């Protein structure tokens, strides 16, 4: 999370190249949405007992348990992506490569807004990410895979999201205060769909889907010295601190 914020803070509008980052979580951890109250939504005693770390994201939304997944983040200026009619529509634009990625894997991927039955409520806020559906959440045969969230600063868009390889939603649910079993019933992963492609190949396919969807080339680079320095400072001052992760009052 510190690296994601460093990439966001280092981005200078149209003067910087868009960035796609692909990473994972080791060990597994819970991430809170920017405006969630940790004491209200999490069983913090169980988290401490099991040694499960809790971190607060820059973006909003519900809690996600990150394990056995690919995670992506994108930093760009609005003018560097295909035009969107609204902030909400920009989710469609910036998740289009995920739809293509799932199609490359032979999966029936679609947006919730295009497939849910009449009477199903979209956009209802839920403490646990997988308990609800947003308009541009991605569904595989009606089941929600991963989650995506966005944050904007001035003329910069930051978006990140998860691609579950193995379904750990039910395991993550045990760390919520409200852990009704049905909250995890709607979650699905690549392994649930019979995908057995290894992580290296999945990353390559994800990059290829991004290139094709955005009609762009990609060069692989490490963090710049300034980005690395900033991420280390953010880690020490913010993302390693309960004041941010649990109370959310460092910014």
State the Cα–Cα distance between residues 186 and 5, nearest whole angstrom. Answer: 30
Active site residues: 129
State the Cα–Cα distance between residues 2 and 4, nearest whole angstrom. Answer: 5
Q: Among residues 213, 60, 19, which one has the least CA distance to residue 147? A: 60
Cβ within 8 Å of residue 38, ≥6 positions away: 32, 44, 54, 56, 245, 246, 247, 248
Q: What is the DSSP letter of 176?
A: B
* 3-class state of residue 195 by DSSP: coil
State the Cα–Cα distance between residues 153 and 185, nearest whole angstrom. Answer: 35
DSSP H helices in the chain: 2-10, 38-41, 44-50, 87-104, 112-115, 169-173, 199-214, 225-234, 242-245
Cβ within 8 Å of residue 28, ≥6 positions away: 52, 65, 66, 67, 68, 168
For residue 158, the Cα-to-chain-centroid distance in whole angstroms is 11
Pairing, β 53-56 against β 29-32: parallel
Answer whether 178's CB lies under 8 Å from 42's CB.
no
């Amino acid at each position: 999370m510190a690296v994601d914020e460093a990439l966001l803070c280092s981005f200078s509008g149209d003067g910087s190249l868009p960035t796609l980052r692909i990473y994972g979580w080791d060990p597994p951890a819970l991430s809170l949405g920017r405006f969630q109250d940790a004491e209200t939504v999490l069983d913090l005693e169980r988290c401490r007992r099991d040694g499960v770390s809790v971190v607060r994201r820059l973006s909003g939304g519900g809690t996600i348990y990150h394990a056995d997944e690919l995670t992506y983040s994108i930093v760009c200026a609005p003018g560097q992506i295909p035009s969107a009619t609204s902030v909400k529509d920009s989710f469609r634009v910036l998740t289009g490569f995920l739809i293509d990625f799932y199609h490359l894997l032979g999966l029936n991927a679609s947006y919730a807004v295009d497939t849910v039955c009449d009477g199903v409520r979209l956009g209802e806020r839920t403490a646990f990410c997988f308990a609800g559906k947003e308009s541009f959440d991605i569904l595989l045969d009606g089941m929600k895979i991963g989650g995506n969230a966005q944050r904007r600063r001035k003329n910069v868009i930051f978006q990140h999201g998860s691609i579950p390889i193995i379904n750990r939603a039910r395991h993550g649910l045990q760390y919520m205060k409200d852990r009704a079993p049905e909250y995890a019933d709607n979650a699905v992963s690549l392994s649930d769909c019979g995908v057995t492609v290894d992580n290296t190949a999945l990353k390559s396919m994800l990059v290829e889907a991004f290139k094709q969807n955005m009609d762009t080339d990609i060069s692989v680079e490490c963090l710049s010295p300034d980005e690395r320095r900033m991420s280390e400072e953010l880690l020490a001052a913010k993302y390693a601190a309960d004041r941010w992760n649990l109370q959310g009052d460092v910014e």
